[in-house]
Amino acid sequence: MTISVLLADDQTLLRATFRMLVDSCEDMTVVGEASDGAEAVDLTRAHHPDIVLMDIRMPGVDGLAATTAICADPELSATRVLILTTFETEDYVAQALRAGASGFLGKDVTTDTLLDGLRTVASGEALLSPTATRTLIANFLMTPDPGTQPLSAQHLSELTARERETMAMAAEGRSNTEIAETLTLSPLTVRTHIYRAMAKLGARDRAQLVVIAYQSGLVQVTPLTP
């Protein structure tokens, strides 16, 4: 199955570079290009791509507002947003995750990392760079959006004990393979537990599942050392 990608970046040369990289892969294709957030939303509604590769800083409607609009649209529930930016700061990571982004990478990533990132997000997994992962735990989850109500443990009542266990380990940043080794399960079984937990909790992807794990108290935030 070919992964359809929409590019959203105000730099024409950068979009052209991304197009060449994506179109050079047999399993991916670019279906459109947007130079600002408003155009990104319009083109997403027109093409329903699997992934929007979204820059944050764009004129007019920025990438965060566009991500919010895309992720809030029920008709675009199958579309994932991968944020790619030079501004990998705490505030941007927090806002991107709250907006519903499935991934976050800095623009200093290698070509292989970017392409693998697109495939990861397309498969329904979350993709966070090391910096973004650290920020997610140390900043965003410790300072939730004041406009939202904190989740209670009751939100997890529908989960089985194994689903809670795998969800907690995923929230600690462990991969499916690492969880499988720890619990003596197959990676496929772990993946199934993660997907069932996502379905029961209404989580769009693994990133949202991680947020729920911390906000509900399933996993506690611990200070990170430099």
**What confidence score (pLDDT) does residue 123 get?**
78
Is residue 21 domain-resident? yes
As for how many domains the chain has, the answer is 2
Same domain for 119 and 181?
Answer: no
Of 95, 110, 140, which residue constitutes the final position of a domain? 140
Is residue 178 domain-resident? yes
Same domain for 123 and 166?
Answer: no
**What confidence score (pLDDT) does residue 43 get?**
97
Same domain for 173 and 105?
Answer: no
Is residue 147 domain-resident? no
Of 105, 140, 175, which residue constitutes the final position of a domain? 140
181: domain CATH number is: 1.10.10.10
Is residue 145 domain-resident? no
Is residue 222 domain-resident? no
Domain of residue 96 covers: 3-140
Is residue 220 domain-resident? no
Same domain for 7 and 84?
Answer: yes
Is residue 148 domain-resident? no
Number of H helices, E strands in the chain: 10, 6
Same domain for 24 and 116?
Answer: yes
**What confidence score (pLDDT) does residue 76 get?**
93
pLDDT per residue as tens, the chain (226 positions):
899 999 999 999 989 999 999 999 999 999 999 999 999 999 999 999 999 999 988 889 989 899 999 998 999 988 999 988 765 555 666 677 777 888 777 777 788 888 988 988 887 766 655 455 555 555 555 555 555 555 555 678 889 999 999 998 887 777 788 889 999 999 899 989 998 998 899 887 777 787 788 778 787 765 444 4
72: domain CATH number is: 3.40.50.2300
**What confidence score (pLDDT) does residue 29 get?**
96
Same domain for 112 and 164?
Answer: no
Of 140, 164, 196, which residue constitutes the final position of a domain? 140
Same domain for 22 and 123?
Answer: yes
The CA angle 68-21-78, to the nearest 5 degrees, is 35
Q: Return the percent helix, strand and coil in the chain, to nearest 5.
A: 50, 15, 35
Helices (H), 24-156: 37-47, 63-72, 90-99, 111-122, 130-135
Is residue 131 domain-resident? yes
CA terminus-to-terminus distance, the chain: 42
**What confidence score (pLDDT) does residue 166 get?**
94
Under a CB-based contact definition with an 8 Å cutoff, are residues 63 and 54 in contact? yes
